[in-house]
Amino acid sequence: MNKPKIMVIDGNSLMHRAFYALPMLTNKKGIPTNAVYGFVNMLLKLIDEYKPEYLGVAFDKKGPTFRHEVYHQYKATRQKTPEELIPQFDMLKKMLQLMGVAIYETDGYEADDILGTFARISSEKGIDAYLVTGDRDALQLVSPGVKVIITKKGISDVQIFDVDEVKREYGLTPLQIIDMKALMGDSSDNIPGVPGVGEKTALKLLYEYQSVDRVLENIQNIKGKKLKENLTKYRDQALLSKRLATIVQDAPVDINVEDCCYELRYSGDLHAFMEELGFYSIIEKLGFKKEGDPLQKPRSDRKTVIDINTEEELKKMADTLSKAGKTAILVRDGDITLANDDSKLYRINLSGSSDIDGLNYVQAIKGLRQIFESEQVPKIVYDGKRLILDADKCGIRVKGLAFDAYIAAYLLDPTASRYELKNLMYQYAGIDTDDVDAADLYILSRKMREQLEKTQMLKLYEAIEHPLIYVLSDMEIAGFKVDRDMLVKLDMEFSSEIESLTEEIYRLAGEEFNINSTKQLGGILFDKLKLPVIKRTKTGYSTDAEVLEQLRPYHPLVEKVLEYRQVMKIKSTYIDGLLNVIDPNDGRVRSSFNQTVTATGRISSTDPNLQNIPVKVEMGRRIRKVFVATDEDYLLVDADYSQIELRVLAHISGDPTFIDAFINNQDIHRRTASEIFGVPLEHVTPEQRSSAKAVNFGIVYGISDYGLSRNLGISRKQAQEYIDSYFARYPKIKEYMERIVEIAKKQGYVTTLMNRRRYLPELQSRNFNIRSQGERLAMNTPIQGTAADIIKKAMNDVYAELKRRNMKSRLILQVHDELIIDTYKPELEEVKDLVVKCMENAMDLCVPLVVDIGTGSNWYDAK
């Protein structure tokens, strides 16, 4: 007959393990949760694997222990518990209480001692004990009825020790682990041991003499003069170390094994607490269901499934749904499902997705043409851009998208790393399934729409984000023409420049070496040239960009290395990169424009990233020459907002002096220089204007005196004087910055003028640097986010106007505050006029939005 099992966990050990193993996670209120999340996942895994009848978690109690009384330096070298971890202990204890898990802690003793006491009691009662910890000291507790589970890498890798496993790994009995620690000490607990005795020597002594006491009795027989001297000199220290390393098994803690009887049951309070922490995947794993939720009926009870396997069945379904009104469409790897309510599901089986042959993907998409192209069939989708792009490859133009759950999920939680459908289903609709289908999506759209309305973002979705799906899709389909011959020519020029820089670097170094090797470059700079060492890494000298910038004045070699790196990066990233992605059919590159990546709402670009082409250096700007108009009948129109973020700042802050500068069409940087340096506008020097520009844009990003001093190469004192002078001249801006931080702290998020939300968990951090970052984000997000909303609105309007007028000209790129239109020459003046009107009227601010516009046969000339 199997004995009952009790599992006792060292709570402190596993919490630290989980904290360092997982990235920083927070709930929507910004409270750190990663350690609790990792602990609970580990706990559930252990319960599932070992199925203990009894369960308990032991914690260290704050304050000194009996070990500190006998040795005040005990654990003195331990690092302080991270600020983000401290509040998670109370969260975990609440979670365990709600789960029905017994918790133990007692004054003057550690969690190890409680584990030891459980080991003794369980053995006396004939119960098999499993002790879970990351501390190998606990191996001393192993016995025929006690096993120790040691956490290794991360939170999922463990090693289980019984008596044989201890013997196999150490060649010792469990109790000899104490003697080993007594001899070699333990740096993690600051147990001193005997100087000069490491694990190898300790094991050798124990193999011969069995215990520390017998080692000390036989010092005269031990070989090695220094070892003999140390054992003699530090005899008392060895015995003290043994006492410190010994886990007690009679801690004064009230233990009744029956109190540890464990069976996880549904609890509304537990469910609510897990939702509060954002542990939706754990809720799903536990199979919790919201009581009374009609969506929790078995899926087979909710819907009828109709399989579509032939073109004839596909046509019949398309005919039916094209007359049925709103339809949800979900495309997955194995099938396409469609539903016009939550009771009937059509499933198109794709080839290879089941035992049935089914249809291939292209057949399925083409068979849905009448649904895709009909404005009269509003379509609910997940990732509409992907659907539009796939349909376009089949010669189909998708119309009538009604709702995109992917975009809605981004708006509701813009800092999430992923938007998995199954998690969204549970989070917003209460549907617990790994097999999400279109009928589920139909329900999800309704729930998410309600949430958008509740958070006052429905208008943002409908006016900005939803129409943008079509705009970005069309931009990707259009692509940007690249002059391959010019790109190849640039490649040769850059290669020549790299060769020239390499030779110059070798000359200045006095020898050849691998410039791309940090180790070799460090040897040249610091060992040979004796330049000051700024920073070290684990493997040697640091030669990162920040270090090289500080070393620039010391030797001309540094300047050349910086140039070399810059040219190499431009060549590898943009020249080599672009050559690899040019479409051989039409000579265009097609970047992916991402609508759901940045927390501020800005659009990003990947594969290739056309938004990060360096423009501050001429070699970077030259890359823009390879981006050209379609052919000789076209020109590029480049329309760029002038200082849009500063104009938004003027509007949001309401500062009259700042507003006045824009209304009177003054150079805002010159005006700011005039204000903070106290000189007339006409006497502002270029250097003063440059400093004022750095202050203007720095203020938008919540810059500190340190950051500004680094940007301008001035002292922190002078930088702070600039900032103080700025706020003295623009007091409403200072008031706004202070006010928005307080609002963010109170409500946990900030909003743009269009009500886009960004949650700021950083503001709840106990870490000063993280909290300061949160404050900067609170200041900047409403400004940068509103600028993003404005450019998106302009894109929508430009796209719609070009379509309405049936023009050949096409919007092909957006880079921050800049739009590029591939313009048919006969439409040039009309395009310039409509683009300026759309951009300048995208949002009504108290200051004018101003657009600078240029034209050219390539991007470089148009800019």
pLDDT tens-place string over residues 545-585: 989 988 999 999 999 999 999 999 999 989 999 999 999 99
**% of the chain surpassing 70 pLDDT:** 96
Which of 439, 455, 471 terminates a domain? The answer is 455
- Average pLDDT (523-535) is 92
**Statement to judge: residues 69 and 166 lie in one domain:** yes
- With cut-offs at 50, 70 and 90, classify the pLDDT of residue 301: very low
pLDDT in tens, 77-101: 777 888 888 899 999 999 999 999 9
Which of these, 82, 39, 28, 62, lies nearest to 770 by C-alpha position?
82
Residue 862 lies in a domain: no
The long-range contacts involving 653-659, CB below 8 angstroms and separated by at least 24 positions, are: 653/730, 653/732, 653/733, 653/735, 653/736, 654/732, 654/736, 654/846, 655/730, 655/731, 655/732, 655/733, 655/736, 656/732, 657/729, 657/730, 658/730, 658/732, 658/733, 659/846, 659/847
Which domain range does residue 498 map to? 483-581
**Statement to judge: residues 405 and 520 lie in one domain:** no
How far apart CA 23 and CA 320 sit, in angstroms, is 49
**Statement to judge: residues 80 and 165 lie in one domain:** yes
**Statement to judge: residues 449 and 502 lie in one domain:** no
CB-side neighbour CA atoms (13 Å) of 112: 21
pLDDT in tens, 773-805: 899 999 999 999 999 999 999 999 999 999 999
**Statement to judge: residues 664 and 518 lie in one domain:** no
**pLDDT the model gives residue 356:** 43
Q: What is the CATH number of the domain that holds 365?
A: 3.30.420.10
How far apart CA 642 and CA 653 sit, in angstroms, is 18
**Statement to judge: residues 309 and 450 lie in one domain:** yes
Residue 466 lies in a domain: no
- Token pair in block for residue 458: 């429905």
155 pLDDT exceeds 70?
Answer: no
- With cut-offs at 50, 70 and 90, classify the pLDDT of residue 295: very low
Residue 451 lies in a domain: yes
| The most confident of 44-58, 227-241, 427-441, by mean pLDDT | 44-58
**Statement to judge: residues 87 and 143 lie in one domain:** yes
Q: Which residues, other chains included, contact 229 with Cβ-Cβ below 8 Å and sequence gap of 6+?
A: none
72 pLDDT exceeds 90?
Answer: no
Q: What is the CATH number of the domain that holds 146?
A: 3.40.50.1010
Residue 352 lies in a domain: yes
**Statement to judge: residues 407 and 506 lie in one domain:** no
**pLDDT the model gives residue 713:** 80
SS3 650: helix
Residue 790 lies in a domain: no
Residue 712 lies in a domain: yes
Q: What is the CATH number of the domain that holds 493?
A: 1.20.1060.10
For the chain, what is the domain count?
4
**Statement to judge: residues 500 and 361 lie in one domain:** no
Q: Which residues, other chains included, contact 464 with Cβ-Cβ below 8 Å and sequence gap of 6+?
A: 754, 789, 792, 793, 796
Distance of CA 359 to the CA centre of its chain: 38
**% of the chain surpassing 90 pLDDT:** 59
**Statement to judge: residues 499 and 553 lie in one domain:** yes
Which of 556, 581, 606 terminates a domain? The answer is 581
How far apart CA 589 and CA 812 sit, in angstroms, is 11
**Statement to judge: residues 401 and 359 lie in one domain:** yes
Q: Which residue has the higher pLDDT, 543 or 20?
A: 543
pLDDT in tens, 302-332: 578 999 999 999 999 999 998 888 999 999 8
Residue 201 lies in a domain: no
pLDDT in tens, 377-418: 999 999 999 999 999 999 999 999 999 999 999 999 898 878
DSSP H helical ranges for 222-279: 225-233, 235-245, 268-277
**pLDDT the model gives residue 64:** 87
- With cut-offs at 50, 70 and 90, classify the pLDDT of residue 150: very high
Query: Any idea which of 190-204, 299-313, 688-702, 842-856 has the lowest mean pLDDT?
Result: 299-313
Which of 686, 709, 729 terminates a domain? The answer is 729
- Token pair in block for residue 128: 């098999």
pLDDT in tens, 810-841: 999 999 999 999 999 999 999 999 999 999 99
286 pLDDT exceeds 60?
Answer: yes
Beta bridge partners of 636: 822, 856
**pLDDT the model gives residue 71:** 83
Q: Report the alpha-carbon angle 206-212-213, nearest 5.
A: 130
pLDDT in tens, 635-693: 999 999 999 999 999 999 999 999 999 999 988 999 989 988 888 988 989 888 988 88
- Average pLDDT (515-534) is 93
298 pLDDT exceeds 50?
Answer: no
Q: To the nearest whole number, what is the mean pLDDT of the chain?
A: 90
Residue 810 lies in a domain: no
**Statement to judge: residues 17 and 149 lie in one domain:** yes
